[in-house]
Chains A and B, each alone.
Chain A
């Protein structure tokens, strides 16, 4: 077994533990490369099936082709696709010009919290390709998230199974012990557990695996003829593409091996405050 096979085996093991332990389990799918790899790993773990809903938080500012790609794959792979949104904030005209952290907090963190606990709207993709209100409003108690340890500082301290409080908060000063693949699957009512199957993966590992498994990743990551591509996907107004001619996973890997530019450097909200990501994550951000 090589390193990628070991990473795959551990992620599959974590996904199966999550599926066994939580009745109300969901997987957050941001449409980006990491959570798409995670979705692929779920199909590996469950022999071609994905036995839990995929949840996407749609800020309404996403790059439009992300939504088309999401629905196409969801129908093709027979996924239970659930979309949540902070409709109240959007009706009130929330956007990034009111402050990026403010906007992220409303359209991502709060939307996520409401979608997870069932107090906010949930829409479910039906076979006709359209979304209808989801009859299931039960809170999700297990939430699978594609965070990687090498993305930024606070993520490097995550557990595979990480408890969140009643308010979705992350008490990272007092995390429970986690050892020998014995994960925290017992939790108090009202709280939930975040599950991180990709914690040990690096950005390069992700691309190596995409290449090896031939995973149909969204084409925004590749140069589409204008000499630019995205390295990290987010909302249109706050995500910048990078100069690159890489058109394949192999070319991206070659490029990553020499770059000194941080993966999330194109994500404007990180630049607002040196602890932006930790603050967002303490409050429940992915």
Chain B
């Protein structure tokens, strides 16, 4: 039962004016900053004294005054005449307050354009009448669609440069409307504008008698403020769990922001992906009246009737309307990273409060967003390109699809220290195959493998010994474990049974995948792992314990082969090139041990 009581105790009345965030986008030099500066000046949203101050500064520096200077407040920008980062400015119409986000149009600064646009609810896209539709006119249009901005006004700017020619305006409108149709974006209006002269900015212009549509300001005022999605099913990504008992506070509070729906005291809720259930006992707050119900948009906190284990990244929902759970997602994304996104590489995925490692399993399509054409390199996504991909997470997560929910369907990918891309979930796919056990093990935290290795004084390493019928492998493994241990190394030995390493069909969580998970865990703990694999006559175990996700850890295999050519390391040989060693089982056990140990020690030091 999920009680959907109406929000009872919301804040008193609309004490303040409505506010909307608008981003201004378009190709470089198409006049975005000029348009914003002029809008600010004409609506007297900016202190006339500041305009004077900038005029004076220009005069002193021997430059012509430009409206763009009002925004391009940074020195570098004023010197170079381009916008580098998205600036925010505050602007009022009779209807509401606006934050105008002036986004840079230069391709180098696409990440800043996206950062600006990601905060916006609607957009004004500028196209230079003289230059026409350019690559960033299209790229920015595509990004708006991907960022979920559906309310767009297109301003065809610098009409004064083409003599207010209607034919030019009509041609640009036809061309760009066709492009937007392809990406399923319906603009609210096309407005002929001269930002410099102020035509059709805040009212109709005499220069365009052939145009009877709205001014830019009127079109923007006509945008609808999207209501917080309170009528949708409940979603509250868990942000944190608090217990401030040091100060005598015994409450255990689950904190988070409700991203959709509403919740009330007494509601039955489920936390995904764990599927754990409980009931809301109270809604907590500080210096506010007791609430029985809260709705979308609010940062809040709840206590539960039963104390179940809940962690950041879980999504709380009503028990009868849960989100999806999977470890494989089909998604559309844009890429901003300095290094291209590559298939098979691992990135950190962050969605709402969830964070986890994921691998790029498949690149379905890689596109140049400015031309909507195939990028021509199916193995990677270069900076500023867009793609449709399949991502595979190491552990399952709760999420929704982009057409259902906003906050719980969009994600960013982190490469190194920086956000390098963003995307939206189109579909969740069936869980991945058996190797998932490897991927699910040990999320890398602050105490990571390199730290543990430093403490152990050697690297982690995996040595797989293929046993022979005489079980020379097991004997050798035991001897190696003992001598490495005596030598101060952290080492762990596994004797595996045939079932532990046999491959089975996809989707089954077989003993093999448990083995792989165990080995991955030990390696992440910085251990030297020695695993003996039972003898097989058909070589089905040849790839027995290859750990695809742990390429940085040295992995080597030893086989016994009569007449094996490996009698010992050759001076100067590179162990990196050949880690598949064949040994003659007729050698003395002591000699076998010494050969392998010497090689291991070189690898461990490396």
Identify the A interface with B (CB < 8 A). Answer: 1-6, 8-10, 12-13, 16-17, 19-20, 43-49, 51, 78, 149-150, 152-154, 156-157, 159, 172-173, 175-182, 184, 186-188, 199-200, 202, 205, 208, 212-213, 260-262, 274-275, 278
Most buried by B among A3, A157, A274: A157
**Contact B419 A182, beta carbon cutoff 8 Å:** yes
A263→B543 CA distance, assembly (Å): 70
Provide the bound-state CA to CA distance between A260 and B53, in Å. Answer: 13
Closest to A200 in B: B99
**Secondary structure of the A side of the interface?**
loop
Contact status B15-A156, CB under 8 Å = no
Pairwise interchain contact B49-A19, C-beta atoms closer than 8 A: no
Task: Select B16's contact among A4, A20, A200, A262, beta carbons within 8 Å.
Answer: A4
Let me know if B111 and A176 touch, CB within 8 A. Answer: yes
Cβ of B210 within 8 Å of any chain A Cβ, yes or no, is no
Chain B residue nearest to A209 in the complex (CB): B16
A177-B74 contact, Cβ under 8 Å, with A2-B13, A46-B244: no
Knowing A172-B85, A177-B336, the reply to whether A262 touches B240 (Cβ < 8 A) is no
A-B CB proximity, top 9 nearest: A153-B73, A179-B118, A12-B299, A177-B111, A3-B16, A186-B417, A182-B412, A157-B85, A9-B299
Considering only residues 369-422 of chain B, those with a C-beta below 8 Å from chain A are: 407, 410-412, 414, 416-419, 422
Closest to A260 in B: B47
* Contact A48 B286, beta carbon cutoff 8 Å: yes
- Interface positions of B from 133 to 158, Cβ below 8 Å from A: 147
With A262-B49, A278-B73 known as contacts, the answer to whether A157 contacts B86 (CB < 8 A) is: yes
User: Within B31-51, which residues are at the interface with A (CB < 8 Å)?
Assistant: 47-50
A184 to B412, CA, bound (A): 11
Name the distance in Å between A230's Cβ and chain B's nearest Cβ: 20
* B87 CB-CB contact with A under 8 Å: yes
Q: How far is the CA of A16 from the CA of B255 in the complex (A)?
A: 9
Is B485 interfacial (CB 8 A cutoff)?
no
Q: Please provide the chain B residues from 298 to 325 with a CB less than 8 Å away from any CB of chain A in the complex.
A: 298-299, 301, 312
Would A184 and B11 count as touching, CB distance under 8 A? no
Chain B min CB distance to A267 (Å)? 15
Q: Chain B residues near A172 (CB, 8 Å)?
A: 74, 84-85
Is the pair A6, B89 in contact by a Cβ cutoff of 8 Å? no
Measured between C-beta atoms, what is the minimum distance from B413 to chain A in Å? 10
A102–B71 Cα distance when bound, in Å, is: 27
7 contacts between A and B (CB under 8 A): A2-B14, A16-B255, A51-B244, A175-B85, A182-B411, A202-B90, A274-B57
Looking at the assembled complex, report how far the CB atom of A193 sits from the nearest CB atom of chain B, in whole angstroms.
10
Determine whether the beta carbon of A178 is less than 8 Å from that of B419: yes
Chain A positions within 8 Å of B336 at CB level = 177
Given A6-B297, A20-B312, A49-B247; A13-B118 close (CB under 8 Å): no
Apart from A45-B299, A176-B417, what 12 extra A-B contacts exist at CB < 8 Å? Answer: A4-B15, A5-B297, A10-B299, A49-B244, A157-B85, A176-B419, A177-B418, A178-B115, A179-B114, A180-B410, A184-B418, A275-B75
Interface string of B70-82 (1 = CB under 8 A from A): 0101111000000
Known: A4-B15, A182-B350. A173 touches B247 (CB 8 A): no
Inter-chain CA distance A261–B49, complex, in Å, is 8
Contact of B412 (CB < 8 Å), options: A47, A149, A179, A199? A179
* B19 at the A interface (CB under 8 A): yes
Contact A5–B412 (Cβ < 8 Å): no
- Chain B: minimal CB distance from A285 (Å): 15
Whether the pair A47, B14 counts as a contact (CB closer than 8 A) is: no
- Give the docked Cα–Cα distance between A199 and B90 (Å): 12
Contact present for B15 and A212 (CB under 8 Å):
yes
Q: How far is the CA of A16 from the CA of B254 in the complex (A)?
A: 12
Does B211 make an interface contact (CB < 8 A)? no
CB contacts (< 8 Å) of B84 on chain A: these are: 172-173
A176 touching B410 by the CB < 8 A rule?
Answer: no
For B260-299 the 0/1 string (1 means CB < 8 A from A) is 0000000000000000000000001111000000010111
CA distance A63 to B46 in the complex (A): 31
Question: With the chains together, A109 CA to B602 CA distance in Å?
Answer: 50
Report the Cα distance A261→B15, complex, angstroms: 25
With known contacts A188-B417, A278-B73, A16–B118 Cβ distance under 8 A = no
What B residues does A20 contact at CB under 8 A? 239-240, 312
Instruction: Let me know if B112 is at the binding interface, CB within 8 A.
Output: yes
Choose among A13, A43, A186, A260 the residue that contacts B414 (Cβ–Cβ < 8 A).
A186
* Docked-complex contact A156 and B87, CB < 8 angstroms: yes
> For B64, what are the chain A residues with a Cβ–Cβ distance below 8 Å?
none
A213 with B287: CB separation less than 8 A: yes
* B251, CB-defined interface residue at 8 Å: yes
B residues in contact (CB < 8 Å) with A = 10-11, 13-19, 47-50, 53, 57, 71, 73-76, 84-90, 97, 99, 111-112, 114-115, 118-119, 147, 228, 239-240, 242, 244, 247, 249, 251, 253, 255, 257, 284-287, 295, 297-299, 301, 312, 336, 348, 350, 352, 407, 410-412, 414, 416-419, 422
| Residue contact A187 to B417, C-beta cutoff 8 Å | yes
Shortest Cβ distance from residue A121 to the other chain B in the assembled complex, whole angstroms: 26
CB of B270 to closest CB in A, whole Å: 22
- The answer to whether A13 and B244 touch (CB under 8 A), given A179-B419, A205-B16, is no
Residue pair B112, A278 in contact (C-beta under 8 Å):
no
Q: How far is the CA of A8 from the CA of B297 in the complex (A)?
A: 10
Q: Would B257 and A13 count as touching, CB distance under 8 A?
A: yes
Chain B nearest CB, measured from A210 CB (Å): 13
Chain A residues lying within 8 Å of B49, measured Cβ to Cβ, are: 260-262
Q: State how many angstroms separate the Cβ of A44 from the closest Cβ of chain B.
A: 5
- Report yes or no: A176 in contact with B16, Cβ–Cβ below 8 A: no
A2 x B242 contact (CB < 8 A):
no
Q: A177-B336, A202-B90 are in contact. Are A47 and B251 (CB under 8 A)?
A: yes
Could you tell me if B419 and A156 are in contact, using CB atoms closer than 8 angstroms? no
Find A13's partner among B50, B295, B299 (CB 8 Å cutoff). Answer: B299
Contacts of B111 in A (CB 8 A): 176-177
By the criterion CB–CB under 8 Å, are A5 and B298 in contact? Answer: yes
- Alpha-carbon separation in the docked complex, A176 to B414 (Å): 11
| Chain B: CB-nearest residue to A19 | B240
A47 and B336 alpha carbons, distance in the complex (Å): 38
Contacts known (A176-B111, A177-B112); A184 close to B15, Cβ less than 8 A: no
In the complex, which residues of chain A have a beta carbon less than 8 angstroms from the beta carbon of B114?
Answer: 177, 179
- Quick one: which of A179, A186, A208 contacts B115, CB cutoff 8 A? A179
**CA separation between A8 and B199, bound complex, in Å?**
38
Q: Which residues of A contact B285 (CB under 8 A)?
A: 44, 47
Residues on the A chain within 8 Å of B87, using CB = 153, 156-157
Residue of B nearest to A191 (CB): B417
Q: Is the CB of B287 within 8 A of A43?
A: yes
The answer to whether A159 touches B115 (Cβ under 8 A) is yes
A274 to B54 CA separation, bound complex (whole angstroms): 9
Q: Are the CB atoms of A1 and B16 closer together than 8 Å?
A: no
Find the A residue at minimum CB distance from B406. A180
CA distance A78 to B13 in the complex (A): 33
Closest Cβ of chain B to A41, distance in Å, is 10
In the assembled complex, the Cα of A20 lies from the Cα of B240 at a distance in Å of 7
Contacts of A199 in B (CB 8 A): 88
**Complex formed: what's the CA distance from A46 to B287 in Å?**
11
Most chain B CB within 10 A, of A6, A49, A179, A274, is at: A179
Residue of B10, B89, B115 touching A156 (CB-CB under 8 A): B89
Complex contact A44–B14 (CB within 8 A): no
A9: chain B residues within 8 A (beta carbon): 257, 297-299
In the bound complex, CA of A2 to CA of B227 (Å)? 11
CB pair A152–B73 under 8 Å, yes or no, is: yes
Whether A186 contacts B418 in the complex (CB less than 8 A), given A47-B285, A49-B249, A153-B74, comes out as yes
Q: B147: which A residues are within 8 A, CB to CB? A: 179
Instruction: Tell me if A1 and B297 are in contact (CB < 8 A).
Output: yes
Do B50 and A262 have beta carbons less than 8 Å apart? yes
Contacts of A202 in B (CB 8 A): 90
Shortest Cβ distance from B573 into chain A, in angstroms? 37
Q: Which of B118, B407, B417 contacts A184 (CB 8 A)?
A: B417
